[in-house]
C-alpha cells in the first residue's frame, strides 16, 4: 500500500514537472519559421561563406575563366568533378587545350571547398542555394560551363609597380 502511494505521488510530481515546462513554452513568443514562404529572406540572409552549390560564373559575353587545367579535379577527394578538355587550333595555327565540359556531381560533393581554394583562376565559386531535393540522382549531375561558352581572353595589364627604381616593368598577363 505504501509503495502504491509513493509511486502515485512521484508519478504525479513528474507529471507536474512536465506540465510546467509545457506551460512555459506555451506562453513564449513563437519562433516557427514560415518555410518555404520565407525562402527569399532565407537566401538573402545566408551567411557569406555558406557553400550551397558549386558554380562557374560567366560574364555577359558567355565567357568563363576556366583553363581546363584539372587542378580542382585532382584535389577533389570524392571524384565529384570531371574536367573534359579538347584541343583547338588557334588563328596562329597552334593547338591549345580548352575546356569542353566541366561536370559536377552535387550528389557526391562534401562541400569541403578544396576545389575553389586550389583553382588558380578563381573560375569556380559557391552559391548559397540550399534546396537540392530531387527524385532522380542524375539530376544532381550538372555541367557548369554553359553551352557555347568559352574562356575569357587574357588581358595584358601594366604591373602595379616597376621592378627597378626609375625603370619600367614588364607587362603582366593575368
By the rule CB under 6 A, 83 interacts with ligand SF4: yes
Q: Which stretch binds ligand SF4 (CB under 6 A): 18-26, 106-114, 135-143, 154-162?
A: 106-114
DSSP 23-51: HHHHHSPP----TTTTHHHHHHTS-TT--
By the rule CB under 6 A, 70 interacts with ligand SF4: yes
Tell the burial category of 143 from Cβ atoms under 10 Å away from its Cβ (0-12, 13-18, 19+): middle
Residues 6+ apart with CB under 8 A from 115: 54, 72, 75, 76, 80, 81, 124
Which residue of 53, 80, 145, 149 would you call a contact of ligand SF4, by CB under 6 A? 80
- Compute how many residues bind ligand SF4; rule: CB under 6 A: 25
Going by C-alpha positions, the residue among 90, 84, 78, 52 that lies closest to residue 66 is 84
Which residue of 53, 72, 145, 149 would you call a contact of ligand SF4, by CB under 6 A? 72
Closer to ligand SF4 by Cβ: residue 44 or 174: 174
By the rule CB under 6 A, 53 interacts with ligand SF4: no
Going by C-alpha positions, the residue among 132, 141, 136, 74 that lies closest to residue 101 is 141
By the rule CB under 6 A, 114 interacts with ligand SF4: yes
Q: Which stretch binds ligand SF4 (CB under 6 A): 5-13, 25-33, 119-127, 163-171?
A: 119-127
By the rule CB under 6 A, 124 interacts with ligand SF4: yes
Residues 23-42 that bind ligand SF4 (CB under 6 A): none
By the rule CB under 6 A, 123 interacts with ligand SF4: yes
Residue 8 CA to residue 11 CA, distance in Å, equals 5
44's grid cell: 538573402
Omega before 36 within 30 of 0, i.e. cis: yes
Residue 62 CA to residue 151 CA, distance in Å, equals 9
By the rule CB under 6 A, 149 interacts with ligand SF4: no
Residues that bind ligand SF4 (CB under 6 A): 54, 66-72, 76-78, 80-81, 83, 109-115, 119, 121, 123-124
Amino acid at each position: 500500500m505504501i509503495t502504491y502511494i509513493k509511486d502515485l505521488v512521484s508519478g504525479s510530481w513528474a507529471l507536474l514537472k512536465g506540465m510546467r515546462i509545457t506551460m512555459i513554452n506555451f506562453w513564449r513568443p513563437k519562433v516557427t519559421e514560415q518555410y518555404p514562404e520565407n525562402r527569399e529572406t532565407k537566401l538573402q540572409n545566408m551567411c557569406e561563406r555558406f557553400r550551397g552549390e558549386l558554380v562557374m560564373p560567366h560574364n555577359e559575353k558567355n565567357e568563363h575563366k576556366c583553363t581546363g587545367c584539372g587542378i580542382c579535379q585532382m584535389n577533389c577527394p570524392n571524384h565529384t568533378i570531371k574536367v573534359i578538355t579538347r584541343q583547338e587550333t588557334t588563328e596562329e595555327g597552334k593547338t591549345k587545350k580548352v575546356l569542353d565540359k566541366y561536370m559536377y556531381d552535387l550528389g557526391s560533393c562534401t562541400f569541403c571547398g578544396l576545389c575553389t581554394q586550389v583553382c588558380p583562376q578563381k573560375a569556380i565559386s559557391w552559391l548559397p542555394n540550399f534546396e537540392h531535393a530531387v527524385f532522380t540522382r542524375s539530376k544532381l549531375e550538372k555541367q557548369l560551363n554553359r553551352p557555347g561558352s568559352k574562356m575569357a581572353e587574357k588581358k595584358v595589364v601594366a604591373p602595379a609597380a616597376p621592378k627597378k627604381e626609375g625603370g619600367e616593368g614588364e607587362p603582366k598577363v593575368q
